[in-house]
Amino acid sequence: MAETFNPSPAMGEEVKPPQYPIESVDNALKLLLQFDERPRIRLTDAATYLGVASSTAHRLLAMLQYRGFVRQEADTRAYVPGPALTAIASAVTRQMDARARARPVLERLNAELRETVSLARLEGTSIHFIDSIESGQAVRVAQRTGITLPAHCSSSGKAALSQLSDDLLSVMYPQEDLPVITASTLSTRTELLRDLDIVRRRGYAISEEESEDGVTGVAVPVPTLGGGQYCLSVAVPIHRATKKLRDEIAGALTGAAEELHGYLA
């Protein structure tokens, strides 16, 4: 029977309705989803669609406008997508483009190394896995597409953070203490900065059960032209993570990252 190390459910799985739904939030999201079918929404249309009073629809739209998700046209008084919504759409498009460009490289790495490979992007102090291909071996680390982890406790996160200056890292991590996920997680900013210095000199990052017990990760940053902090990583059950395999993985990832240089934004 296959044994799989799975840190959390992948995004894209069927989601059940929440036990305690918030109607106002649901209505606001329903309005945003309407932009998939129409270019603009009028107040009366919003009220009719939601089955609420015009005053209620106006309050919802006013809050969405305040947060930048919609803006109101001066001439028609209708609401259209705002800068926050278009920024999110642009970010999703960039991630989809990065995933499409890197997919052939991930497939080759997966076939060559026979371990779980991933593409991830740094988002603040978190690392988000954009794409992942699971190992076909009986004992393996589960694919990680859609998972987000604290950057300081994963090889992917540390590879991405290593591309930033210590001054910027001190701003990103203003507190000395860091959240602890496992007994091996780096628990202070000082430990993190020391580890990142090693990553820069060595050229790749390693995580030894720092985000999940029983899992070793190896990752390298992917140089980009657009400023995004991407990385390629391989996750391996710790009993297979010999020094020879880690070195082999690091070499394969370094070559793959050079191949993708300039293709991700």
Please name each of the domains of the chain with its CATH number: 23-81 (1.10.10.10), 90-260 (3.30.450.40)
Please enumerate in sequence order all residues whose Cβ is within 8 A of that of 118, keeping only pairs 6 or more positions apart, or say none.
Answer: 106, 129, 131, 132, 133, 143, 144, 145, 156, 232, 233, 234, 235
Q: Is the pTM of this model over 0.75?
A: no
Q: What is the mean pLDDT of residues 4-28?
A: 69
Distance of alpha carbon 169 from alpha carbon 175, whole angstroms = 11
Residues 190-214: tens digit of each pLDDT: 999 999 999 999 999 999 999 999 9
Average pLDDT in the chain = 88
Residues 82, 68: contact at Cβ < 8 Å? yes
Q: How far apart are CA 216 and CA 237, in angstroms?
A: 6
Bridge partners for 41 per DSSP:
79
Q: How far apart are CA 172 and CA 174, in angstroms?
A: 6
pLDDT digits (tens, 9 = 90+) for 115-142: 999 999 999 999 999 999 999 999 999 9
Which runs of E-coded beta strand occur in the chain? 3-5, 70-72, 79-81, 116-123, 126-133, 139-141, 148-150, 205-208, 215-222, 230-237
- pLDDT tens figures, 20-65: 888 999 999 999 888 888 889 999 999 999 999 999 999 999 999 9
Q: Tell me, what amino acid is at 236?
A: V
Which of 37-46, 72-81, 238-247 reaches the highest mean pLDDT?
A: 238-247
Residue 185 has pLDDT above 80, yes or no: yes
